[in-house]
Homo-oligomer: A and B are copies of this chain.
């Protein structure tokens, strides 16, 4: 056994004091957001009614490479960060691979995922602006939980619109949010105009993320002292999530480890973008080279099978237009798809990096993902979230390739969270009742055809 411990913990003093903004080093900047009415690039002031001013500025900032992390956010980070970079000795042994496998584990906090990194930042800027509270939507509940924790800590009001089917089928996530003082409303509700309209048009609907976004935005803009916050996709979120990559790089550097391959799961891109940003920065500056792989579900393959074009960010079409790899804003993954990673598009930053060839992408089937999840759980002890298990699948595949070739590659992947609230999906897998679904080319083409022409 080498001198590298099972878990590399940085000290609290080694938590980064600034987030890294990869856009500053990108030659091709991510395309600007467009006003859906005029088709023209948005001015920062146009975002102020929806987002906090400071966050709006971060959303638009393509020039500053580092943005200081406020002291109050750093103090909060110290309650659960630095997160460990774990050497997967037991997984390596079990696979019989010469590869060295590392994972950055973001699940050791009550939200169960990396989402808390941006939730506390967004809640902090809302408080600094003197707001009363924030509104958001949540699907499975990971982001809503993280935001509830952040707002409870700062004493802000928190209103969460939770997709109705999740509200009813995932009561435990809902109760965690309520324990943290959040008001959780099943969406579509009768509390907003858009909610009432949808309930009237589609009686008995169980809701969708797109509808919940529309309700949360309406709630934010119709109440004095409220703004809307979002857990993925946006540039500001990737900025905050850069803390994942910065810590990962610091831990590797501390032990003189040079990563060959960096793997992350990709839904909206918040974890992947955060994990890879300092490494991509090195690539953009010509300082190093890495094999970066985004892993997405075969049932929602925005990078591998989507189109790079302007699209609506939400199904309700109330948000700005963003240029991204997209399956069309009306695309909804098949009902048998478990866990998150069900967003129709991809972060503009990740999309541009992908288009520029700085990363590759793979899609994996659900049953293969859960097979990897179970293998990982049994040898490494951590029950992974379905989302994170997409990255595990490819890390295992790559480690097995190393076994063939005899290469001792350093494989780093992001373990974004734990699966404690996803046991219904595990039960389906344990009972042999989990199935795969891959959309046809025709389905995707029909959905993409509805993207706006700008």
Q: Are B9 and A9 in contact (CB under 8 A)?
A: yes
Indicate whether A199 reaches chain B with its CB closer than 8 angstroms: no
* Minimum Cβ distance to chain B for residue A422 (Å): 9
B-chain residues with CB within 8 Å of residue A78 when the two chains form the complex: 5-7
Indicate whether A252 reaches chain B with its CB closer than 8 angstroms: no
Inter-chain CA distance A82–B181, complex, in Å, is: 32
Q: Are B423 and A172 in contact (CB under 8 A)?
A: yes
- Neighbour of A12 across the interface among B7, B179, B430, CB < 8 A: B7
- Neighbour of A381 across the interface among B110, B379, B423, B424, CB < 8 A: B110
Indicate whether A438 reaches chain B with its CB closer than 8 angstroms: no
B-chain residues with CB within 8 Å of residue A90 when the two chains form the complex: 79, 153
Indicate whether A250 reaches chain B with its CB closer than 8 angstroms: no
Q: Are A377 and B6 in contact (CB under 8 A)?
A: no
- Neighbour of A179 across the interface among B9, B76, B181, B383, CB < 8 A: B383
Indicate whether A290 reaches chain B with its CB closer than 8 angstroms: no
With CB as the reference atom, state the residue of chain B lying closest to A428. Answer: B175
Inter-chain CA distance A423–B179, complex, in Å, is: 9
Indicate whether A178 reaches chain B with its CB closer than 8 angstroms: yes
With CB as the reference atom, state the residue of chain B lying closest to A149. Answer: B381
Residues 351 to 387 of chain A near chain B (Cβ within 8 Å):
374, 377-383
B-chain residues with CB within 8 Å of residue A152 when the two chains form the complex: 377-379
| Residue of A78, A149, A175, A378 with most chain B CB atoms under a 10 A cut-off | A175
Indicate whether A80 reaches chain B with its CB closer than 8 angstroms: yes
With CB as the reference atom, state the residue of chain B lying closest to A5. Answer: B12
Indicate whether A221 reaches chain B with its CB closer than 8 angstroms: no
Indicate whether A255 reaches chain B with its CB closer than 8 angstroms: no
Inter-chain CA distance A79–B420, complex, in Å, is: 18
- Neighbour of A423 across the interface among B5, B109, B149, B175, CB < 8 A: B175
B-chain residues with CB within 8 Å of residue A172 when the two chains form the complex: 172, 420, 423-424
Indicate whether A440 reaches chain B with its CB closer than 8 angstroms: no
Indicate whether A271 reaches chain B with its CB closer than 8 angstroms: no
* Minimum Cβ distance to chain B for residue A379 (Å): 7
With CB as the reference atom, state the residue of chain B lying closest to A112. Answer: B420
Indicate whether A437 reaches chain B with its CB closer than 8 angstroms: no
Inter-chain CA distance A179–B108, complex, in Å, is: 20
- Hey, what's the 0/1 contact readout for A330-342 against B, CB within 8 Å counting as 1? 0000000000000
B-chain residues with CB within 8 Å of residue A5 when the two chains form the complex: 11-12, 78
Q: Main SS of the interface on chain A?
A: helix
Inter-chain CA distance A75–B79, complex, in Å, is: 26
Inter-chain CA distance A175–B108, complex, in Å, is: 21
Inter-chain CA distance A380–B153, complex, in Å, is: 8
B-chain residues with CB within 8 Å of residue A421 when the two chains form the complex: 420
Q: Are A377 and B79 in contact (CB under 8 A)?
A: no
Q: Are B80 and A381 in contact (CB under 8 A)?
A: yes
Inter-chain CA distance A341–B421, complex, in Å, is: 24
Q: Are B381 and A79 in contact (CB under 8 A)?
A: yes
Q: Are A179 and B374 in contact (CB under 8 A)?
A: yes
Inter-chain CA distance A176–B5, complex, in Å, is: 27
Indicate whether A125 reaches chain B with its CB closer than 8 angstroms: no
Inter-chain CA distance A172–B90, complex, in Å, is: 26
B-chain residues with CB within 8 Å of residue A11 when the two chains form the complex: 5
B-chain residues with CB within 8 Å of residue A9 when the two chains form the complex: 9
Indicate whether A282 reaches chain B with its CB closer than 8 angstroms: no
B-chain residues with CB within 8 Å of residue A178 when the two chains form the complex: 426-427, 430
With CB as the reference atom, state the residue of chain B lying closest to A110. Answer: B383
Indicate whether A70 reaches chain B with its CB closer than 8 angstroms: no
Residues 156 to 206 of chain A near chain B (Cβ within 8 Å):
171-172, 175-176, 178-181
B-chain residues with CB within 8 Å of residue A135 when the two chains form the complex: none
Indicate whether A236 reaches chain B with its CB closer than 8 angstroms: no
Q: Contact residues of A with B, CB < 8 Å?
A: 5-7, 9, 11-12, 75-76, 78-80, 86, 89-90, 108-110, 112, 149, 152-153, 171-172, 175-176, 178-181, 374, 377-383, 418, 420-421, 423-424, 426-427, 429-430
